[in-house]
Structure 1
Amino acid sequence: MAKVYALLVGINEYRTAVRHGLADLRGCVADVADARAALEASAPGRVDARVLLNGEATARAVEEAIRGHLYRAEEGDTALLWFSGHGTEYAASTPQELLLEPTGRCQALVCADGPLPDKLLGALLDGAAAAGGRVVAVLDCCFSGGASREGYVPRSSRPLPHWRPTVGSRDLTGPDTAPRHLLLAASRLGQPSFERPVDDADGRTDPDGPAWSDDLPVRGVFSYSLARALRRAGPGTTARELLAEADAGVRRLVSGQQPVLFPADPGGLADQPLLSAALRGDLPREAPVSAHLLREGPQGWEVDCGRAHGLSGGPGTEFTAAGGPVRVTEVWTDRALVDPDGWIPDPGSVHAVTLSALALPPAAVVLAGDAAALPPSPLLREVADGSPEEAGAGLLFRVDVRGGRARVLRRDGSPYVPPLPLAGPADARRLVDCLTGLTHWHRLRDLSAGLSPLTGHVRVEVLPWEHQDGEPLRPDGNGEIVLAYEDGQEPLVAIRIRNSGPRPLWCVLVNLNDQFGAGSALFPGQFIGPGMTGYALDGAQVRMVLPASRPVRPGASVRDWLTLIVAEGELNTVPFHLTAWDPITNRWGTTANPLPEGLLRLAGAAPSPAGGRDMLPARPFAPGQWAASSVALRTVVPALPAGEDFTVRGG
């Protein structure tokens, strides 16, 4: 029987530090009691909990409890750390810290006797995954988005002089693998998290109302909201869905606190149940990840899709959930305000949605040859050959059907993909999937905010790995940075993101390739401080390798585009992922996860309530500014003089 090994840490009393100005808290012990009750309700008889409260929760005791208790989790089990207390941050000073902390600040949990650095905590939690268990950290403290509480009563602490944390092992070398644990954090880097009185009746205490009332219990707003979401969760509810509901709950209670989910890549740790799958009945998760979720925010119902995702407003734009359609009333940078049409969602609930209509479809399609009408899509509109609509279309596909094969062509007649079979309705649907995927890829590559005050504040720099102290590489006359193989060895580069503006900005780097794939693994979304630099892959080498389908021989090449999206607050990053088109199967991705939802799919059958939410902006009452720019790269294998040859080295 699958077990949940839970380590619950709650610290109200910081007696040794009160004389230095560190305030006690009121809601942390109650937070972990609520968390334990929620866990035991979700997994009755399966929770093995260890609790550390107040003075017993020293840094050493927490570390030993992680090793001694959470490391017991085996395959199918869940190891869960829930920390409720103060967090702190301090200036990064060593080269290793500056490499890994683009805000210029390091974070730590504040235990009863001092700090536990986030990088050390991350390494400990990754170690707990060694036996195959699912490892989750819930951190309700300030600055916890970096793996580390403030406000109505702040849960943060200035670093005391004798608290300078020792450098953990991962600070010295940088992360050598992807995180093996999932983080649900109360707030982003550099941001407070709050505790305050809450109304247990409905969780809708007015964020603009009185801060304190002796008639209401005090809780950390994140712990309170997440525990409520956990109690409401059904079988198979993913961590992404839970955080989406908790996020909306936090924003209904306070402003200026943004919960964080990390890592948030679609199909990964975030899209599994918070507790182990075996604990939830080992339910299958065959549905594709939904790119967007409907939830109840401070201004009413909203979908986490906005202008920075390519969404345009106007009458007729709508999404569809299992309960029915929702019509867009206003589009902001990161999200769209919506009105449910003909149905009333349960208060506080979360629903997967897919785009079902756009006021103006962004791609035009000309049908030629034996082509019949295609199934409808919100991203496509059919135009007549030679019409003004064709001439004025920004993105145009010419579909030429002959002999049961469809060719998808550019304006100049060159093919986008190999010819597709077109013999029945299933083939027609696959063709529309191809066209909508190509549309989404182009929208990502060409994303533009128009005139934005953030334009030019952040730039992407590409440098040869061996000359990182020199000048960044410059585009050639074609607007591309050209990188060449040398003696069969692929070029190695460093990619950095430099913020020259006056304030911190959130950045994500989307890598698109000429196989029409996209992803944000290089720099998946993080704040970069003013005058600071973020590094792709945490400063590791970026190998510019030709895809396996292209042998390394003279004349071979591949193209990549780096689209940098800069915003004042976090964006949902799931729509920035697109599995490359597979010319063998004529599909996007695999049959298990054929195509991300949201802007890529027509609403057909009602979607299942799958996960898909990432993060929201910090200021819920302001749309926020954003900007986008793109850098084109071309990796080539140069031609060799006659009679010469080379042997490929490396992978």
Structure 2
Amino acid sequence: MSAVYALIVGIDAYRAVPPLAGARNDAVAALAYLRSRVGDDRLYPLELHDRQATRAAIIDGIRTHLGRAGKDDTAILWYAGHGSQAPAPPELWALESEGLVQTLVCADSREGDIPDLYDKELSVLLDQVAANGAHVAAVLDSCHSAGALRGEIPEAAARPRRVQPASHAPKPESLIPELRSGWAALPPTSRLVLLAACRSDQLAQELPVDNVSRGVFSWALLTALNQLGPHATYRELLAAARCAVEDKAQFQSPQLTGDLPADQPFLGGTLRAAPSAITMRHHADRWEIDAGSCHGMPPAWPGPLRVAVAAPGPTRPARVTSVSVDRSVVEPDGWHPDPTRQYPVVVTQLPRPTLTATVHDSTELTGPHESTGPHEWTGPHESTGPHESTGPHESTGLTELTSLPGPSGLTGATRLSELTQLIDRSPFLRLAHADRNQVPDLRFCSLPGGGIRILGTGGLPVAPDLRGADAAVRAGEHIARWRQVGALENPGSPLAGAVHLEIVARMPGDTSAPLHRLPLRPGPDGLIRLEYERRDGVWTAPTAFIRLHNTTGRSLYCVLLNLTERYRVHATLFPGAFIGAARAGAALNGRPVRFSLPTGTPATPGAQVHDRLKLIVAEDEFGAHPFEQGTLDDLTRRGALPPVAMTRDAGAADPDDAYDWTTTSLTVVTAVPSRAEPS
């Protein structure tokens, strides 16, 4: 039976910094929850409270106690106490785009030469635990915790309880042994899930709850754990805790970070897909969804705008009554949702569907490119990159779509009628007017053998042939969402051009992105071109670096999306972070990015693939997750994304506050040279 190893740290009493009042209470409550959830037969806790929680003791607790967790076990660090910051070493510019590292303040920190526990040390230590095969999670209820000072108690007698940032960058000799000779021991990716009380530029707060001082985040998270039950995912817990924190504290935005999937239950377990990327929740005496005008929701519209709960059971709709920048107010229609719950919702009715479509029998299409005979779909191709140069390729096949079961025995006329009805009901497609001068975006063609082919404006297939009208319309909606993400823009924004998106050549010996090397310049067609090289008789994919350069005098939040040719959207290159004033950030934390053809696609001369990189820049934070969608074969989550889905994971601004945003795009063409080269 798998075990849970827990290191519980709660520090109110410090040796060299001001005390706190609720951190130990948080730690005690966290351990009580774990006991009730896991049971004493599987839970192995180690408690470090107040003066016990020295720097050395916390480090040893991670190494020797959490380090006992093996394959299929879970290791959890729950820290409640002060957090702080320190200047980042110059060589970490690609990791720390704001120029600061975050710290946990141990009980003896800053007594003499004893430093804080730096986030980079914590990353190395917890990654070593994960290397044993354990599921590793960390809950940090401290200021600056998304990167790890609790603030002040919001009451009349409150006094500031801030710990001033360290005056200098960490000295090598003060770090754990793995980092004393440099930063090479830092894990390239995170193998843990982090639930943090706030952003790296914010303060966490504590306040009286039932006359007991508590950290707002710890209280909110434990409340969510008890309300949502043992199967709640990290993403669901973060959303619920965020609601409670926003009701009690200003300018505190809980965060969920880490490279492990967020749709995994707390303390580990089987992954399950989120039913939707948009959440309806009760906040400030009203119901709202976390999608607004900057996410593509129209601020003014001529017709109805509606959502509905994306879950089995009776239809539970809601009408959108107002749209602000980052969220929208909704009114449940004909049902009474539970204010203590959060509901995944999907857009069910839009006033302006994205793409026009027509429906045809194959015999109606007689253009030169519109063959009615058997046809094997050959494109567009999807790049498996850009991604980390040493990472695995992903499968991009579409076999699942082509084998989707379709209704048997349907006549061509019946299929055409079914297609027409489904398109007419789709929130992302609309039937084109019967005007010969109007060219539809998509044409759905019923084939003699019972399949359906989707053609683009040029008459060429844009997807593999499908079986079943439902599968074909879902593919059309998938394409519509991809196109709308690509078209996302905010015309006239003063932020236009504020952050430069740059592709930087990788020279021999480069292991991390250079800060000052000039970027590659696009050609006359606006494209960056990279080529495969022939090495030892084998074609090798090119690698480069992606750099983001903030040219303004203020911090800006950035997310970098990759839109591939097979209608996938992902944010793995730069999922979201603030880039400090006049500073730079880098994709994959500065590691090389490989641009390559899809897995299984031979590198034949002349083969090429496009990756459209879309950078979204904003004055405040927003979430990247709702943008993401898989390839056309990943259509099991029907309606999981809005037409353009961008949510504030936990914005600090008031729901009605406006903040500016902009986008910029760059397309990279990766090609195998067509010229002959010696092997």
The two structures have a TM-score, normalised by structure 1, of 0.85
Match status 1:34 vs 2:29: yes
1:189 partner letter: S
Aligned residues: CA RMSD: 2.5
Q: Distance in 1 between matches of 2:483 and 2:166?
A: 50
CA–CA separation in structure 2 for the residues paired with 1:119 and 1:534: 17
The alignment partner of 1:146 has SS state of coil
Which one-letter code corresponds to 1:305 in the other structure? A
2:89/2:170 contact within 8 Å kept: no
**1:592-611 aligned within 5 A:** 597-599=640-642
Counterpart in the other structure of 1:297: 283
Answer whether contact 2:347 2:427 (CA < 8 A) is retained.
Answer: yes
Q: Distance in 2 between matches of 1:2 and 1:89?
A: 36
User: For residues 205-262 of structure 1, what are the alpha-carbon distances to aligned partners after superposition, in whole Å with 9 as ceiling and x for unaligned?
Assistant: xxxxxxxxxxx32211111111111111224111111111101110000110111101
* Alignment match, 2:498: 457
Q: Distance in 2 between matches of 1:174 and 1:534?
A: 20
**What does the per-residue CA deviation read over 1:108-142, in whole Å, with 9 as the maximum and x for residues that have no partner?**
10011111000111111122223322211000111
Is the CA contact 1:244–1:613 (under 8 Å) kept in the aligned structure 2?
no
State which drifts further: 238-247 or 143-152. 143-152
Structure 1 residue matching 2:622: 3-state secondary structure: coil
Pairs within 5 Å for 1:82-481? 82-95=78-91, 97-114=92-109, 115-147=116-148, 149-151=150-152, 152=154, 156-160=162-166, 164=170, 166-167=174-175, 169=178, 172-173=183-184, 175-198=186-209, 200=210, 216-263=211-258, 268-277=260-269, 286-298=272-284, 300-313=286-299, 314=301, 315-321=303-309, 322=311, 324-369=316-361, 371-372=416-417, 373-375=420-422, 376-386=425-435, 390=438, 396-403=441-448, 404-421=450-467, 427-466=468-507, 469-481=516-528
SS at match of 1:113: coil
Within 2, Cα distance between the matches of 1:500 and 1:299?
40
The answer as to whether partners of 1:448 and 1:627 remain within 8 angstroms in 2 is: yes
Distance 1:562 1:326, change over 3 A: same
**Any idea what SS the aligned residue of 1:352 has?**
strand
User: Match of 1:528?
Assistant: 579
Deviation at 1:374, TM superposition (A): 4.3
Matches within 5 A, 1:517-556: 517-556=568-607
Please tell me whether the aligned partners of residues 452 and 469 of structure 2 are also in contact (alpha carbons under 8 angstroms): no
Q: C-alpha separation between the residues in 1 aligned to 2:653 and 2:168?
A: 34
Amino acid at match of 2:165: P
Measured in 1, the distance between the counterparts of 2:228 and 2:637 equals 26
Does the aligned pair in 2 maintain the 1:8–1:52 contact within 8 Å? Answer: yes
CA distance in 2, matches of 1:588, 1:374: 23
Structure 1 residue identity aligned to 2:661: W
Query: Within 1, Cα distance between the matches of 2:326 and 2:295?
Result: 8
Partners of 1:418 and 1:398 lie apart in 2 by 13
In structure 1, C-alpha distance between the alignment counterparts of 2:53 and 2:605, rounded to whole Å = 62
**CA contact 1:225–1:249 (8 Å) conserved in 2:** yes
**2:649 counterpart letter in structure 1:** M
C-alpha contact (below 8 Å) 1:86/1:141 kept by paired residues: yes
Distance 1:527 1:79 in 2: 29
Q: Distance in 2 between matches of 1:407 and 1:342?
A: 39
Structure 1 residue 285: Cα displacement: 5.2
SS at match of 2:131: helix
Does the 8 Å CA contact 1:175/1:538 hold for their aligned counterparts?
no
Deviation at 1:511, TM superposition (A): 0.8
Distance of aligned partners of 1:117 and 1:350 in 2 relative to their CA distance in 1, 3 Å threshold: same
Alpha-carbon displacement from aligned partner over 1:453-504 (angstroms, at most 9, x marks no partner): 2221112001111295543222223221111223233222110011112211
Number of corresponding residues = 586
Q: Which amino acid aligns with 2:75?
A: A
Q: Quick check: 1:24 aligned with 2:19? A: yes
The CA deviation at 1:295 is: 1.7
CA distance in 2, matches of 1:503, 1:351: 36
Distance 1:184 1:534, change over 3 A: same
Which amino acid in 2 is paired with 1:258?
S
2:671 corresponds to 1:636: yes
Percent identity of equivalent pairs: 37
Q: How big is the shift at 1:595?
A: 6.0
Q: In 2, are the aligned partners of 1:141 and 1:156 still within 8 Å (CA)?
A: no
Does the CA contact (< 8 Å) of 1:147 and 1:183 recur in 2?
no
Q: Deviations over 1:594-623 (max 9, x none)?
A: 56713279xxxxxxxxxx987222213414
C-alpha contact 2:149 2:162 (8 A) present in aligned 1? no
Structure 1 residues 439-448 or 151-160, which shifts more?
Answer: 151-160
**Secondary structure at 1:149 match in 2:** coil
Q: Is the 8 A contact 1:288 1:595 kept in 2?
A: no
Q: For structure 1, which segment, 69-78 or 532-541, has the greater mean C-alpha deviation from structure 2 after superposition?
A: 69-78
CA distance 1:155–1:194, shift in 2 (3 Å)? farther
Deviates more, 1:406-415 or 1:178-187: 406-415
Partners in 1 of 2:291 and 2:204 — Cα distance?
25
Contact 1:441-1:517 within 8 A present in 2 as well: yes
Q: Write the distance in 2 (CA, Å) between the matches of 1:92 and 1:131.
A: 30
Secondary structure of the residue aligned to 1:51 is strand
Shift in CA distance, 104/161, structure 1 to aligned 2, threshold 3 Å: closer
Contact 1:502 1:530 in 2 (8 A): yes
Deviation at 1:37, TM superposition (A): 2.1
Q: Which residue of 2 aligns with 1:43?
A: 38
In 1, the alpha carbon distance for the partners of 2:638 and 2:610 equals: 22
Would the alpha carbon gap of residues 344 and 624 (structure 1) be closer, same or farther in structure 2, given more than 3 Å must change? farther
Q: Against the structure 1 CA distance between its residues 645 and 413, is the aligned structure 2 distance closer, same or farther, given a 3 Å change threshold? A: farther
**1:524–1:175: structure 2 CA closer, same or farther, 3 Å change rule?**
farther
Question: Could you say which residue in structure 2 is the equivalent of 1:3?
Answer: 3
**606, 617, 620: which one pairs with 2:651?**
617
Letter in 1 for 2:603: V
Name the CA shift for 1:242/1:470 in 2 (closer, same or farther; >3 Å).
Answer: closer
| Separation of aligned partners in 2, 1:63 and 1:470 | 38
| In 1, Cα distance between equivalents of 2:555 and 2:283 | 25
* Cα offset, 1:55, TM superposition: 0.8
Query: Does the CA-based 8 Å contact 2:86-2:101 persist in structure 1?
Result: yes
State the Cα distance separating 1:286 from its structure 2 match. 5.0
Distance change in 2, residues 1:385/1:415 (3 Å): farther
Per-residue deviation, 1:387: 6.6
Q: Is the 8 A contact 2:322 2:328 kept in 1?
A: yes
Q: SS at 2:262's partner residue?
A: helix
**2:149/2:203 contact within 8 Å kept:** no
How many angstroms apart in 2 are the aligned matches of 1:456 and 1:580?
Answer: 30
Within 1, Cα distance between the matches of 2:61 and 2:518?
48
CA distance in 2, matches of 1:113, 1:25: 14
The one-letter amino acid paired with 2:234 is: A
After TM superposition, give the deviation of residue 550 of structure 1 in Å: 2.8
Shift, 1:558, TM fit: 0.3
